A = this chain, B = another copy of it.
Amino acid sequence: MRRMTARPGNAHQARLLKLLRDGGPNSRAQLGDQVDLSRSKLAVEVDRLLQTRLVVADGLAASRGGRRSHNIRLNPELRFLGVDIGATSIDVAVTNAELETLGHLNQPMDVREGPVAVFEQVLAMAAKLRSSGLAEGFDGAGIGVPGPVRFPEGVPVAPPIMPGWDGFPVREALSQELGCPVMVDNDVNLMAMGEQHAGVARTVADFLCVKIGTGIGCGIVVGGEVYRGTTGSAGDIGHIQAVPDGRPCACGNRGCLEAHFSGAALARDAMEAAQQGLSAELASRLETGGDLSAVDVAAAAAAGDPTALELIREGGDRTGQVIAGLVSFFNPGLVVIGGGVTGLGHTLLAAIRTQVYRQSLPLATGNLPIVLGELGPAAGVIGAARLISDHLFSPA
């Protein structure tokens, strides 16, 4: 089902749409206070927006001592689809035009099964959300994939952990299937956009968003805009050398950060520790579950297991050293830590903070918050919705 959604005709309209998205319903007068246009010009642009499907006027607001104002708001029937494809699971959410999550599904899925299988799954999840009455159709969709993307075309390029996806026309294919505009980006960039839109980074122009999951990546925001680099691989910090002559990494080098600390590395280290009898706690979990994951390490740490705590602390140290270098280089106003491994919580954060504050210069760290993401697994899908909404709310 294709829905024809208009795009704003000029920069003023785009500005107004974004104000309505981020600030909710507004009167014409309130909008006028924010856009520095005369009331007459504003009225013209609002009227044009009302003629599209994008914006509606419904009802009157309570009086504030004078004539009651009309409520101008984004069409409450608009629906965006946010999709976050991780290495081991898929998140799909439906939002309204104000990017409020109306429904959210999560299913395990190995991204290595390839784009066809994955998108079958994604479409099934989208259909489920739709049939539960949350949406009749979608006006746009944002997709995050765990690897570099040639952004203008929406095509993954040379993704290390999802080889079958190289060159697959994600944007085009999904646009066909869903019958709506689609934008594709790296999952880490979407997490950054999510935290920027609705999380801890709302007021910061330049920040880093480090996502530690199966792999490690970093979203870079410069002047409020995601920076993607020359070939779309900016933020790919998992293969920065953290330990000289360290562990061998899948990329062929030794000592990569990702080889020493990530969901996969942590599970491996925990297995080793359990098998060597270093931790009764981990060993017992190994018996019950058959396999250990980062979640088991988190649980063991929460139970006070010293081996698990040491694993986390060491990983945090490595990560912190790398981040310290990035902080010196980039001088961000905020560092956000997110991804699956955030379950490790304060132990991890403390280790990272210690390294950064110790190694980077005072001018760069003096006023630098290092915090966990606020949105957890929702950051990706909110970021995805934000991506497509930014696109649709820009002049055609």
CB distance from A315 to the nearest CB of B (A): 16
Please pick, from B231, B361, B362, B364, the residue contacting A331 in the complex, using a CB distance under 8 A.
B231
A235 at the interface (CB under 8 A from B): yes
What sequence of 0s and 1s flags, for each residue 146-158 of chain A, a beta carbon within 8 Å of any chain B beta carbon? 0010000000011
A2 at the interface (CB under 8 A from B): no
Most B C-beta atoms less than 10 A away, residue of A231, A244, A368? A231
CB distance from A256 to the nearest CB of B (A): 9
Please pick, from B227, B239, B366, the residue contacting A361 in the complex, using a CB distance under 8 A.
B239
Please determine whether B236 and A361 come into contact, CB atoms closer than 8 angstroms: yes
User: Which of A15-23, A170-178, A322-330 lies on the face that meets chain B?
Assistant: A322-330
CB distance from A255 to the nearest CB of B (A): 9
Please pick, from B229, B329, B366, the residue contacting A235 in the complex, using a CB distance under 8 A.
B329
A233 at the interface (CB under 8 A from B): yes
Count residues on chain A whose CB falls below 8 Å from chain B CBs.
47
CB contacts (< 8 Å) of A332 on chain B: these are 229-230
CB distance from A392 to the nearest CB of B (A): 23
Please determine whether B321 and A218 come into contact, CB atoms closer than 8 angstroms: no
A136 at the interface (CB under 8 A from B): no
Given contacts A218-B329, A241-B325, A251-B361, 6 further A-B contacts (CB under 8 A): A160-B361, A206-B227, A231-B367, A233-B363, A237-B328, A239-B360
21 pairs from A and B in contact (CB 8 Å cutoff): A206-B229, A206-B230, A218-B329, A229-B331, A230-B332, A230-B333, A231-B331, A231-B363, A231-B366, A233-B328, A233-B361, A233-B363, A233-B364, A234-B330, A236-B328, A237-B328, A239-B361, A240-B329, A253-B359, A329-B329, A329-B330
